[in-house]
Chain A
Amino acid sequence: MSMVAELFLEFVLLACVAFGGATALLPEMHRVVVENHHWLDDTTFTHLYAIAQSAPGPNVLVVTLIGWEVAGLAGAVATTLAMCLPMSILIYLLIDRWESFSGKRWQKAVSLGVAPLAVGLIFSGATLIAQAASFGWAAWALVIATVVANLRLKLHPLWFIGVGAALGLLGLV
């Protein structure tokens, strides 16, 4: 199977469990792309995450970057489509019937039940980035400062990105 087809199929599978959006998929994308297939190494993976963070647009686009690094333009198109198509098709078919099952007990149970899992996925994504980038004490200090500042202050995320980029450029992280 060609690499692009393989990428597409792997990411279609991921799209079907992406509760919490693409951010929640970081650990699994790392498992598939870095650990299983060795398409990318740890450093490149964290770099791609950093680039996606600093670009405008929906969070989905980290998968575009991964696709590009693995298989060029075809790879970028493949991962992006794979990520968006399955649920787009499903939602196209279901939206007219949504009102007939929204509010049902099972629907509420799924919504309630999936929330703690999504939190766990995003937490795991954060630990994964820290691990893959093998943060030293300075980087961890910046992580903690970001968490505290982000929870206390209402700042635009670009401020944080800018500070992180500047500290990194100065070789302080």
Chain B
Amino acid sequence: MAKACRPTPNRPSSGWITELSVSPEESPSRPDLRALFWGFSAVGLSGFGGVLPFARRMLVDEKRWMTAEEFNAQLGLCQFLPGPNVVNLAVVVGKRYQGVVGAIVAPLGMLAGPFLIVLLLALLYDRYGSLPLAHGMLRGIAAVGCGLLFSMAWRMGGAIRDKRLFLPFTVLTVAAIAWLRWPMPAVMITGLALSGGVAYWRLGRR
């Protein structure tokens, strides 16, 4: 089923894939609905700002529901499509073991805990958010979060090959979104046509 794993290059959050060690000897076990729900719950609650590495650890190392190759192969589509990669991954794993019900239960498990925590924080915010202390704290966190975003962009930009060819599209995206404030769907469709077109041409020349 898993042919040679080919991590999609240059996709967000795919940097860590290169570090995967391969351990293909064990045969994956077959989780039931309850195991799917709780397994993905643990994953959802374990990460701050991205839980994908935790999903891999749970699926491949701890529970052995899939081999490293299978994981990479299936992650390919999850990262190819837009939207939250980890939720996509939960759907794939859930479908694989328990069909359509599994495909609902696994992402539910992943989101239920964090959903409740975030709502609890929202309740606290609604009650105390107007206090000067809360304002100061959130302002400090926002500044740090802003810095984390800049460094994430810097890292992802650094991982792009053929920078002279592709980084201009980054600049155009920033100009269109941050400066001109054009609507994102239109920008993305145009950008993808142009940037993907260049990539298509480039791939043909190799």
For A92, the chain B residues whose CB sits under 8 A away are 91, 95, 100, 103
Q: Are A121 and B173 in contact (CB under 8 A)?
A: yes
Q: Are A57 and B85 in contact (CB under 8 A)?
A: no
Q: Are B83 and A147 in contact (CB under 8 A)?
A: no
For A123, the chain B residues whose CB sits under 8 A away are 149-150, 153, 157, 170, 174, 178
**Provided the pairs A19-B82, A102-B76, A144-B147 are in contact, do residues A57 and B113 lie with their beta carbons within 8 angstroms?**
yes
- What residue of chain A has the Cβ atom nearest to residue B100's Cβ? A92
- What residue of chain A has the Cβ atom nearest to residue B76's Cβ? A102
Contact of B184 among A22, A27, A52 (CB under 8 A): A27
For A56, the chain B residues whose CB sits under 8 A away are 44-48, 113-114, 117
Chain B's interface size range is 35 or more
Q: Are A51 and B47 in contact (CB under 8 A)?
A: no
Q: Are A165 and B137 in contact (CB under 8 A)?
A: yes
- What residue of chain B has the Cβ atom nearest to residue A96's Cβ? B95
Tell me the smallest distance from the CB of B128 to a CB of chain A, in Å.
11
Q: Are A129 and B81 in contact (CB under 8 A)?
A: no
- What residue of chain B has the Cβ atom nearest to residue A163's Cβ? B144
- What separation, in Å, do the CA atoms of A51 and B196 have in the docked complex? 35
User: Count the A residues whose beta carbon is within 8 Å of the partner chain — how many?
Assistant: 109
Q: Are B204 and A122 in contact (CB under 8 A)?
A: no
For A68, the chain B residues whose CB sits under 8 A away are 118-119, 122
For A90, the chain B residues whose CB sits under 8 A away are 81
Q: Are B191 and A164 in contact (CB under 8 A)?
A: no
* Interface mask (B102-117 → A, CB under 8 Å = 1, otherwise 0): 0100010011011101
* Interface mask (B11-35 → A, CB under 8 Å = 1, otherwise 0): 1110000000000000000000000
Where chain B touches its partner, the secondary structure class is: helix
Q: Are A147 and B47 in contact (CB under 8 A)?
A: no
Contact of A115 among B11, B154, B197 (CB under 8 A): B11
Q: Are B149 and A91 in contact (CB under 8 A)?
A: no
Q: Are B95 and A146 in contact (CB under 8 A)?
A: no
B38 interface hit (Cβ, 8 Å): no
* Interface mask (A123-151 → B, CB under 8 Å = 1, otherwise 0): 11111111001010001101111110011
- What separation, in Å, do the CA atoms of A169 and B135 have in the docked complex? 8
Tell me the smallest distance from the CB of A146 to a CB of chain B, in Å.
3
**Provided the pairs A64-B119, A95-B77, A110-B196 are in contact, do residues A119 and B170 lie with their beta carbons within 8 angstroms?**
yes
* Interface mask (A53-65 → B, CB under 8 Å = 1, otherwise 0): 1111111110011
For B192, the chain A residues whose CB sits under 8 A away are 19, 110, 113-114, 117
**Besides A68-B122, A157-B48, 5 new A-B residue pairs in contact (Cβ under 8 A), listed by A number:** A86-B83, A113-B195, A115-B12, A157-B49, A163-B144
Residues of A at under 8 Å CB distance from B? 13-28, 31, 35, 46-61, 64-65, 68-69, 73, 76, 80, 83-84, 86-88, 90-92, 94-95, 98-99, 102-103, 105-130, 133, 135, 139-140, 142-147, 150-151, 156-158, 160-161, 163-173
In order of increasing CB-CB distance, the 8 nearest A-B pairs are A168-B140, A57-B114, A146-B147, A120-B173, A164-B144, A113-B196, A87-B83, A126-B149
